[in-house]
Amino acid sequence: MPVYCTYSIIFVLLVVLELAYFRIADHFHIIDKPNERSSHNTIVLRGGGILFLLSAWLWSLFYGFQYPWFLAGLTLIAGISFADDIHSLPDSVRLIAHFVAMFLLFAEFGILHIESWWLILLALIICVGIINAYNFMDGINGITGGYSLAVLIPLMVLNYRLHFIDMSYIVVAMMACIVFCFFNFRPKGKAKCFAGDVGSIGMAFMLLLPLGKLILQTGDCTYILLLVVYGVDTILTICHRILLHENLGQAHRKHAFQIMANELTISHVVVSLFYTIVQLLVSFGLIYISHIHWIYFIVATAVLCGAYLLFMKKYYHLHAEYLEKIK
């Protein structure tokens, strides 16, 4: 069967599966109710990001089960996340699932060697951190789907050059993002569904497969810049909350994108596009300035950190005023 026919069939199946999930979610009231920490004010179906897990299974069915340990890990971590979307689970259960899933991914990479235990431990902490950062950043319409495309597109370009993963995997993941974006990448109050933990955590895990294979094949850790915009926002927001002596487990609206969407009332679509475009620019800079990766890594990270700090210095007072009003 020609490649375009296979892709067309998968795309249609993804649309059908997403629409079928909407009916199931509506029937069982799998919904997201807004609260004072939310960036939305209407009830919306939750868990639409289960499409990402389904896309990985569809890809495996059509292209062979090339990465069985990865698929097992994805199913575990997305399944636990979906259960958490329906009924809140203890943090310990979710964290155990994250670590087990990461060990399955590392088994897929073939890096579980006892003599490299310290590298495995470091990679485990970084990867679990990435998964949770991706989840933290899923707070407004379009940001998960749009940002994921901003990661997948550079990965596709790099894969043409370096061939570190079956290209069809990246294509199918992109199609899942496009289908999800059709229902989610909309102005505030217009989204048909939210990704839920199953979507944000599932997609983060899916991105770690090609990103990890790229880093292992090239030995170049600077490719982590493909996630740097989320990374800077998440890490500096956590540092900010620590300075404020806040409980890090408590829900909040202190991320830069949340202040843009809430206090500055910038459209969700505009904010999500901004994050998507900035990440694309940083990523393509890394791709086309290949001879000075580490210098570029340091400069790009420093610029993004500086931009975040300047933004917060100018606008954080608006959020502080909001918190005073809701006390």
Assess whether pLDDT exceeds 80 at residue 31.
yes
**Average pLDDT, integer, range 296-305:** 98
Residue-wise pLDDT tens digits, 279-291: 999 999 999 987 8
pLDDT over 90, % of the chain:
87
Q: What are phi and psi of 255, to 5 degrees?
A: -65, 150
Residue corresponding to tokens 């997948």: 152
Residue corresponding to tokens 């029937």: 27
For the range 126-130, what are the long-range contacts, defined as Cβ-Cβ under 8 Å and sequence gap of 24 or more?
127/102, 127/208, 127/212, 128/95, 128/98, 128/99, 128/102, 130/204, 130/208, 130/227, 130/231
Q: What is the pLDDT of residue 117?
A: 86
Cross-strand bridge partners of residue 80: none
Rg over alpha carbons for the chain, rounded to the nearest Å, is: 19
Assess whether pLDDT exceeds 80 at residue 1.
no
Assess whether pLDDT exceeds 60 at residue 198.
yes
Assess whether pLDDT exceeds 60 at residue 207.
yes
CB-based contacts of 188: which residues, under 8 Å, 6+ apart? 39, 40, 41, 140, 141, 261, 267, 268
| Angle, helix 50-63 to helix 196-218, in steps of 10 degrees | 50
Q: What is the pLDDT of residue 33?
A: 67
Per the prediction, the chain carries an average pLDDT of 94
Band (23; pLDDT cuts 50, 70, 90): very high
CB burial of 174-199 (b: ≥16 within 10 Å; e: otherwise) equals: bbbbebbbebbbbebeebbbbbbbbb
Q: What is the pLDDT of residue 100?
A: 97
Assess whether pLDDT exceeds 90 at residue 275.
yes
Kindly write down the DSSP assignment for every residue of 144-198, as one continuous string: HHHHHHHHHHHHHHHHHHH--S-HHHHHHHHHHHHHHHHHHSSSTT--SB--HHH
